[in-house]
Structure 1
Amino acid sequence: MCRGVISNNRISRISAERLSSLVALETLDLSNNNIMEVRAGAFPPLPLKNLLMNNNRISTLEHGCFSNLSGSLLVLKLNKNRLSSIPPKIFPLPHLQHLELSRNRVRRIEGLTFHGLHGLRSLKIQRNGITRLMDGAFWGLNNMEVLQLEYNNLTEVSKGWLYGLLTLQQLHLSHNAISRIKPDAWEFCQKLAELDLSWNQLSRLEEGSFVGLSVLEQLHIGNNRISFIADGAFRGLANLQALDLKYNEISWTIEDMNGPFSALDNLRKLFLQGNRIRSVTRKSFTGLDMLEQLDLSNNAIMSVQANAFSQMKKLAELHLNTSSLLCDCQLKWFSPWVAEHAFLPLVNASCAHPHLLKGKSVFAVAQEEFVCDDFPKPQITVQPETQSAIKGTNVTFVCSAASSSDSPMTFAWKKDNEILNDAEIHNQAHLRSQVSEVTEYTTTLQLRHVEFSSEGRYQCVISNHFGSSYSTKAKLTVHSKQYIYIKYMCMCINIYVYFFLC
């Protein structure tokens, strides 16, 4: 193989005349020079397979600049230049397999930009500041397997710019500004095996966020702002083996939802570090029968219900570190279970309550020291009730909880699993009796002039330093006045018919 290295010089122009004699040249390295443009016909007909032009000053690519290399070129690297745009159909290179355009100044990629690259397998366009990918931006890349778009300024994922990527296996979109995944976004890339959306601005995972990714094996969505995961958000990901959700805000999903990961039948690894999780319940990991590795580190976990991990028969690694445990009688099971499964080297856990055990490793607490003579974490005592209402009337939901702690209490109401930020809420507290150390807290949600849009399931969340308690979900149904009138008339008719027949 003939290799020409002309890098690290001060070359400012590509001379076809000087290159024409290199008839056996397969690799040409022009990196680290002062080349500012690549003109049409810059390269003579050569059997070049690899062309490297990284770290130059290239700002212009003329049509026809690579035409004489169309029969042989396999690798083209134009990283760290000054390209601000990529002219459509500038690459008539049907055999090219790898194209790199990272660290340029491209802000927008038009449709058909890469048309003609029928053999391309990987494309790298990181660190360009790209804000827009137009519909059909990658159309024609019929053999594309890897697309790397990290460190840009993309704000959404849509099927328009993914059109044509039928063979794509890896899509890297980390370190962008993506806040939205449009419905049916993945319609044209259903062979995707790895998707990286970490370090973006996603706040919600909707029911259709990943529809169509039936062969996906790895999903990275850590370091976002996710606080809401809809029921069924992971439905259809039957082949997913690794899910990275670290450093989001999904504590309520883990603490309250009924099996949020239940659709992930083949999941092997789940990463949930740094999600402000305070409680792990029996239903948190329902359905994860095949899980082998679970990372719950960097969460201030206060309680872990018995049997929270019992269905995970293949669990080989459990990472957990917390100094916030409520070491009462409900935690008796934890130390023996950790020891039995040989997780001791991976678990660092100490007590925060009661005061006598504060700071003590949970594995050094004797079984008789786990007592339940108080309950600092709120316990729901009055559940909100399901109701029906006439459109335009007022509705009140009431919820109460008791706690033996004087820790400040916070109250929130949710509708269909989402926080009601602007709701009319009234809170009060009172001692159960003069001699009691238990305080009962009541929160009232007032809905005025309800509409049909007010229908849904309402739930209260009462929290203090020791954790959160979630009420049952009360359903509100709103009827029109005509409905009530018709229902009343039907009842009267039924009564009349009954007495007439009797």
Structure 2
Amino acid sequence: LLVFSRVHNTIPEINAEQLQVYLSLENLDLSSNLISEIKASSFPRMQLKYLNLSNNRITTLEAGCLDNLSSSLMVVKLNRNRISVIPPKIFKLPHVQFLELKRNRIKIVESLTFQGLESLKSLKMQRNGISRLMDGAFFGLGSIEELELEHNNLTEVNKGWLYGLRTLQQLYVSQNAINRISPDAWEFCQRLSELDLSYNQLTRLKESAFVGLGLLEKLNLGDNRISHIADGVFRGLTNLQTLDLRNNEISWAIEDANEAFVGLGRLDKLILQGNQIKSITKKAFSGLEGLQHLDLSNNAVMSIQENAFAQTHLKELVLNTSSLLCDCQLRWLPQWLTDSRLQQAVNVSCAHPEWLAGQSLLSVDPDDFVCDNFPKPQIRVHPETTVALRGMNVTLTCTAVSSSDSPMSTAWRKDSEVLYDAEVENFARYQQQSGEVVEYTTVLHLFSVNFTDEGKYQCIVTNHFGSNYSNKAKLTVNELPSFLKTPMDLTIRIGAMARLECAAEGHPTPQISWQKDGGTDFPAARERRMHVMPEDDVFFIANVKIEDMGIYSCMAQNTAGGLSANATLTVLETPSFVRPLEDRTVTRGETAVLQCIAGGSPAPRLNWTKDDGPLTVTERHFFAAANQLLIIVDAGLEDAGKYTCIMSNTVGTERGHIYLNVLASPNCDSSQSGVAHEEDGWTTVGIVIIVVVCCVVGTSLVWVIVIYHMRRKSEDYSITNTEEMNLPADIPSYLSSQGTLSEPQEGYSNSEAGSHQQLMAAAGGYVHKGTDGGAAPLVICSDCYDNANIYSRTREYCPYAYITEEDPLDQTLPNLMVQMPKETYTARTQHDTSALDNLLADRDLTVFLANHDKISEKKISSQQLSEPFQIPLWGVNKDLARSHSHFLHQPSARETPRPLRSEGIIDSDQEQAASPRASHRLREHNFD
């Protein structure tokens, strides 16, 4: 026995013992009995494939009640029972393909209720009153293809209860109370080919309503209350073939030219019956190239623009209306219906003008389609797109005219939805314009606009003859940026990570950008140490360096405006030696320069000690470059020792040692030194300066160049009153990182002892009055004494002693000469001038060149003295000119060094030649 049926009986329960004799059964039908429960022992082990227990009184399904049938059961029907609860995992039936639970009392379906039905293809649960489907309610149905949930109380479609239905192809949820489709509802069932959402409470279709349903072929949205369809809502339904929108409120989608059906290129059938459509624009069916069946029945269509169906390939057009406005704009329709052979399902007649009322459109003479007036409203003034700041008042105006006296009504829509509570003013007036017309103006007031007021606004003007839609005006509400987080000043050690926060709000959302010191040049960015975290509003600089220090500006900008906030990043660095400290060895009487070039942030303060004790500062001690250079003039044996440079800032302290060794002079005459020591040192300095000037004037262009460069060095050494210093070009500036620029002032240098001594002027030679009683003065050049101390009070001049220095800084600094005090200088000016005159009047000169060659002593004849001055200054000696020919191509004009002009030695108005007297006496002077 394979089939056993006991329907319409009074069987109260299922007895396993009675079924033992039917172990070979495949089909068991016990429907329409009085069975109230199914126990775990109700069925023996059988090879049953079909089980029908519908129309009983079953209220309880005991756990494991169908386990003995699990090996073969394929179809289970439990319709029309009294089941209210389905225990989770009760169906352990791996071979069941069809399960029906229609017309029960199930209100809630818990998670994992149907786990164990791996082969189930169809599940029907209509008319249960289901109001809630828990997340994962159908999880485990790995083969499901059809799910029927009609006539329940579901209110939402979301991905929670659809989770796991990856093979689902047909979903029927009509006759529910669904009013919302969540944006990601179809994430887990993207194989749907048919979806029925008819007879629900949908009022709007958002742009994301059907995202993910690219395989959908049939969509039924009929008999809802849809009044809003977002632009592009159907764009992703590229395979849709049938779309049913009957009995909704989407007349505007057809009447307004917004191309609502763009993206449905394969749509074959479109049902729009009963949507209160009054007019059809030429763009109403744009994008429906494959449309063949169009149902526009039960719409009081009054006007159809020409070429409204041009993009379609209609084979069937269902249209029945008796409200057509048969004017000149409808002249095209009868001929098109005839040519397209679509007149069979079309039943249309005229309502206006009155003399054509009731006449079939197809029977109207083409000459009767005239435009004597325009009863349908025509919009003359459209609302304008507006940009406003938050809190402002906005007014939108729309004006329409009509030749009919039919009452006009207006409505405003925002994003295709009617504004029922809007502040609207309406004005109507008559005007004479080729007959009497009515001008109707409607004004929409938006007070204190906010971001929620943003959107596209449109006015609709309607009368008995139809509606007209204005252009859409976009309202944008902006708000100036304001900071939620502002960057704070930050002080951080070098090598650490800097973190600056900045966040702003506004509308639209402001863009955050950063600047450093007013520009976009970030050293950290070039070295890929900069990281911007937009989501966390944080700006990072990793492994901070000194060059990262500066002012960082957070810029917040949107279309309404912008603002900025600044924060200072200070980088701390422990003091360090930029250059290694080097011990120095000088000869007695030379100038010793001790370098302690310091680095660090903030700039460290430098102090010097000697032999681990205080440094006694005398008039021979000078400090330069913020104490980074210690200059000891006329070094003596007592200056030898250990000098300690101590530099410190807020971060720490660093110290280093320099050992100074002073050697006795090997080549100096002691008797000459003793006599020179007794003379007044300041007088000697003045005489030396005057004599050397004459030497330079009488020698060659080489010394003019030297004078010029020495003058430039002297100016570079001048210090401003702010105790800041610029070093000459040949000495690198170690303070340039501080951004200080000092213009040369009076040429005075500050020392820690508080004395102000003028550094050496830009002279390259000096005149020394001999002490040996000779009649002729001794002319010397300071370049001969690069390593001798001209300041020495002992006058230990050693013309031929030349010690090569490796450090260019040390080669330059010994030329720094101390000028006499101002009062002494004034008293000796006359004496210095007379000394110069005596020197120039004498014919016996001795000159020491920088190459240590001695100038021959020759007498100048009276004839030579009387010759006019015509030879250029640098043409003093032809042999010398030949030996230095590369200098003769230099420009002839040279600026006279400032110290020489100030002392009256050379006239400031004659900067290209020396005085006639001096040139006359030196013109023909010959050198060995």
TM range (shorter): over 0.9
- Displacement after TM superposition at 1:385 (Å): 1.8
Deviation at 1:456, TM superposition (A): 2.5
Which residue of structure 2 lines up, in the alignment, with residue 495 of structure 1? none
Alignment of 1:69-468 (within 5 A): 69-312=69-312, 314-433=313-432, 436-468=435-467
- Post-superposition shift, 1:420? 1.6
SS in 2 for 1:105: coil
Per-residue CA distance 1:458-482 (angstroms, 9 max, x = gap): 2111111111111111222334478
Distance between the aligned counterparts of 2:257 and 2:134, measured in 1?
A: 38
Secondary structure at the aligned position of 2:17 is classed as helix
From the two aligned structures, give the one with the greater helix fraction.
Answer: 2
Structure number with greater CO (CA < 8 Å, separation at least 6) is: 1
Change (3 A) 1:357 1:485: closer
Query: How far apart are 1:299 and its partner, in Å?
Result: 0.5
Deviation, 1:258, is: 2.0
Corresponding residue for 2:468? 469
Alpha-carbon distance in structure 2 between the residues aligned to 1:465 and 1:54: 56
Bigger mean CA offset, 82-91 vs 389-398: 389-398
**RMSD (Å) for aligned C-alpha atoms:** 1.6
Give TM-score scaled by structure 1 length: 0.95
Shift of 1:486: 5.4
Structure 1 residue 80, shift from structure 2 partner: 0.5
SS at match of 1:348: strand
In structure 1, how many angstroms separate the alpha carbons of the residues matched to 2:21 and 2:434?
101
Displacement after TM superposition at 1:435 (Å): 8.2
Q: Which residue of 1 aligns with 2:48?
A: 48
Question: Take 1:143 and 1:485, find their aligned partners in 2: how far apart are those partners?
Answer: 55
1:430 and 1:16 map into 2 onto residues whose CA distance is 89
| Partners of 1:372 and 1:304 in 2: CA distance | 15
Corresponding residue pairs, total: 487
Residue 15 of structure 1 corresponds to 15
User: Is the 8 Å Cα contact of residues 388 and 475 (structure 2) preserved in structure 1?
Assistant: yes
CA contact (8 A) 2:390 2:451 kept: yes
Query: Which amino acid in structure 1 is aligned with residue 84 of structure 2?
Result: S
User: 1:90 deviation in Å?
Assistant: 1.1
Deviates more, 1:382-391 or 1:367-376: 382-391
SS at match of 1:21: helix
Unaligned runs of at least 5 residues, structure 1: 488-502
How far apart, in 2, do the equivalents of 1:369 and 1:304 lie?
Answer: 17
Amino acid at match of 2:416: N
| Per-residue CA distance 1:303-325 (angstroms, 9 max, x = gap) | 1100000111x210010000111
Q: Distance in 2 between matches of 1:82 and 1:52?
A: 15
Structure 2: how far apart are the matches of 1:271 and 1:484?
Answer: 44
| Secondary structure at the counterpart of residue 432 of structure 1 | strand
Q: Say whether the 8 Å CA contact 2:478–2:560 is kept in structure 1.
A: no
Give, in angstroms, the shift of residue 253 of structure 1.
Answer: 1.3
Q: C-alpha separation between the residues in 2 aligned to 1:256 and 1:358?
A: 26
> 1:484 deviation in Å?
9.7
Q: Distance in 2 between matches of 1:88 and 1:105?
A: 16
**What is the alpha-carbon distance in structure 2 between the residues aligned to residue 249 and residue 455 of structure 1?**
24
CA contact (8 A) 1:215 1:240 kept: yes
Deviation sequence 1:429-477 (CA, Å, 0-9, x none) = 1111298321110001111112233232221111111111111112223
Structure 1 residue identity aligned to 2:447: R
User: After superposition, what is the alpha-carbon deviation per residue over 1:54-83, rounded to whole angstroms, capped at 9, x for unaligned?
Assistant: 111111110011000000000000100110
1:37 corresponding residue in structure 2: 37
Deviation digits for residues 10-43 of structure 1 (CA, Å, limit 9, x no counterpart) = 0001000000111210000001100011111211
> How far did 1:352 drift?
1.0
Matching residue's letter, 1:389: A
Counterpart CA distance in 2 for 1:308 and 1:387 is 32
Q: Distance in 2 between matches of 1:243 and 1:295?
A: 11
User: 1:306/1:18 Cα in 2 relative to 1: closer, same or farther (>3 Å)?
Assistant: same
Deviation of residue 91 (structure 1)? 0.8
Q: Once the two structures are superposed, what CA deviation does each residue of 1:129-174 show, in whole Å capped at 9, x if it has no partner?
A: 1100000000000000000111111111010000010100100101
CA shift, 1:118, in A, is 0.3
Distance 2:389 2:55 in 1: 70
Bigger Cα Rg? 2
Q: Return the offset for 1:254.
A: 1.4
Change (3 A) 1:101 1:214: same
Q: d(CA) in 2 for partners of 1:434 and 1:3?
A: 87
Structure 1 partner of 2:512: none
Give the letter aligned to residue 244 of structure 1.
D
1:356 CA displacement? 0.7
Answer yes or no: is the 8 Å Cα contact 2:255–2:279 preserved in 1: yes
Q: Could you report, residue by residue, the CA deviation over 1:396-429 in whole angstroms, capped at 9, with x for unpaired residues?
A: 1111001111212111111222222211100011
Q: Which amino acid aligns with 1:149?
A: L
Contact persistence 1:41–1:67 (CA under 8 A): no
SS where residue 116 of structure 1 aligns?
coil
Q: CA deviation at 1:257?
A: 4.1
Task: Write the distance in 2 (CA, Å) between the matches of 1:3 and 1:388.
Answer: 77
Query: 1:283, 1:435 → 2: CA distance?
Result: 31
CA deviation profile, 1:110-134 (whole Å, cap 9, x unmatched):
0100000000000000011110000
Do 2:383 and 2:472's aligned partners in 1 also have CA atoms closer than 8 Å? yes
Partner-residue secondary structure (3-state), 1:25: coil
8 Å Cα contact 2:456/2:475 also seen in 1? yes
Pick which of 379-388 and 343-352 moved more: 379-388
Structure 2 counterpart of 1:382, one-letter code:
V
Counterpart AA for 1:107? K
Q: Partner amino acid for 2:385?
A: T
CA spacing shift, 1:480–1:91, aligned 2, 3 Å: closer
Q: Distance in 1 between matches of 2:175 and 2:257?
A: 29
Instruction: Name 2:865's counterpart in structure 1.
Output: none
Contact 2:227 2:417 in 1 (8 A): no
Q: Closer, same or farther in 2 for the Cα pair 1:390/1:165, shift >3 Å?
A: closer
Write out per-residue CA displacement over residues 180-238 of structure 1, whole angstroms, 9 at most, x where no aligned residue: 10111000001100000001111011000000001000000100000000011112100
Asked if residue 64 in structure 1 is aligned to residue 61 in structure 2, the reply is: no
- SS of structure 1 residue aligned to 2:367: helix
Partners of 1:230 and 1:391 lie apart in 2 by: 26
Deviates more, 1:467-476 or 1:120-129: 467-476
Percent sequence identity over matched residues?
Answer: 60
Partner AA of 2:359 in structure 1: K
Contact 1:28/1:52, CA 8 A, preserved across alignment: yes
Structure 2 runs not aligned, ≥5 long: 482-557, 563-928
Give the counterpart letter for 1:157 in structure 2.
Answer: V
